[in-house]
């Protein structure tokens, strides 16, 4: 069923009539269907409430059904790039995970935590090398290492100590790049995903790689 309050509409799977209610809240990339097998295994006498949660408005997750994330990032980058601060700016744009997409390159095993799948990383700066695709292996510590090396700071002794700096993607002697504001992606209304999100991703990506 759907419930609405204060202009917000949510889909809720409400089953059973027991005096004790169990509320199920899913994680990213999931929906009320995540809990179907769990709910089916519960003994009689329970009321179960599973909610398709909001929060996809600024998500870049595959099959999230919205583009609030790219629109927000574009606004922030455009605001900085058209400001007085552009000539002193280095924006490092990256993501917190790889989104579940197929990657033919196995992550290198560095230590017990190791590295994960590759993620995109964009460098936006007057001194970023134009039209450059770096083949240097970076990780999240590379950003900190770049800051430490650029401003002659000491290492924190974590992932920054062994990480490669981003410095090879910059040239501070070059003619500064001019900033051109990016066009905002078209607005899309965001909704909670329906059905099996993994199946949606596979279908969107043209099937499972062989």
3-state DSSP assignment of residue 25? strand
Q: How many domains does the chain have?
A: 2
Instruction: Provide the pLDDT for residue 186.
Output: 80
Q: Please tell me whether residues 55 and 100 are part of one structural domain.
A: no
Which pTM does this prediction carry?
0.65
Instruction: Provide the pLDDT for residue 98.
Output: 78
Radius of gyration of the chain (CA): 22
Q: Which residues contact 178 (CB under 8 A, 6 or more apart)?
A: none
* Cβ neighbours around 69 below 10 Å, total: 18
Helix (H) or strand (E) holding 150: helix 141-150
Q: Please tell me whether residues 73 and 164 are part of one structural domain.
A: yes
Q: Please tell me whether residues 126 and 41 are part of one structural domain.
A: no
* Vertex 171 angle, CA 169 and 173, to 5°: 175
The one-digit pLDDT tens for each residue of the chain (210 residues) are 777 766 777 788 888 887 767 888 777 667 788 888 888 887 777 788 888 876 554 566 666 666 777 887 898 999 999 998 899 899 999 887 777 777 888 887 776 666 888 888 999 999 999 999 999 999 989 999 999 998 888 888 888 898 999 999 999 999 999 999 999 888 766 555 555 555 655 565 555 554
* Beta strands 46-51; 20-25: pairing state: parallel
Q: Is residue 52 part of a domain?
A: yes
Is residue 39 within 8 A of residue 24, CB to CB? The reply is yes
Q: Please tell me whether residues 46 and 73 are part of one structural domain.
A: no
Q: Is residue 209 part of a domain?
A: no
Instruction: Provide the pLDDT for residue 210.
Output: 47
Which domain does 25 fall in, by range? 2-59+189-204
Instruction: Provide the pLDDT for residue 169.
Output: 97
> What pLDDT, in 10s, does the model give residues 43-94?
777 788 888 876 554 566 666 666 777 887 898 999 999 998 899 899 999 8
Q: Is residue 184 part of a domain?
A: no
Q: Please tell me whether residues 135 and 74 are part of one structural domain.
A: yes
Instruction: Provide the pLDDT for residue 130.
Output: 95
């Amino acid at each position: 069923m759907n419930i609405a309050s204060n202009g917000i509409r949510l889909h809720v799977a409400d089953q059973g009539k027991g005096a004790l209610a169990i509320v199920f809240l899913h994680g990213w990339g999931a929906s009320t269907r995540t809990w179907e097998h769990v709910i089916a295994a519960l003994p009689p006498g329970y009321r179960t409430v599973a909610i398709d949660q909001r929060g996809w408005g600024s998500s870049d997750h595959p099959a999230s059904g919205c583009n609030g994330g790219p629109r927000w990032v574009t606004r922030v980058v455009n605001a900085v790039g058209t400001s007085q601060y552009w000539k002193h700016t280095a924006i490092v744009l990256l993501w917190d995970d790889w989104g579940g997409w197929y990657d033919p390159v196995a992550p290198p095993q560095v230590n017990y935590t190791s590295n994960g799948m590759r993620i995109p990383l964009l460098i936006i700066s007057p001194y970023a090398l134009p039209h450059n695709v770096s083949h240097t292996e970076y990780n999240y510590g590379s950003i900190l290492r770049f800051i430490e090396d650029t401003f002659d700071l000491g290492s924190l002794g974590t992932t920054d100590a062994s990480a490669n700096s981003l410095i090879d993607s910059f040239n501070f002697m070059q003619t500064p790049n001019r900033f051109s504001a990016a066009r905002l992606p078209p607005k899309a209304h965001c909704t909670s995903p329906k059905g099996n999100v993994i199946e949606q991703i596979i279908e969107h990506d043209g099937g499972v790689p062989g």
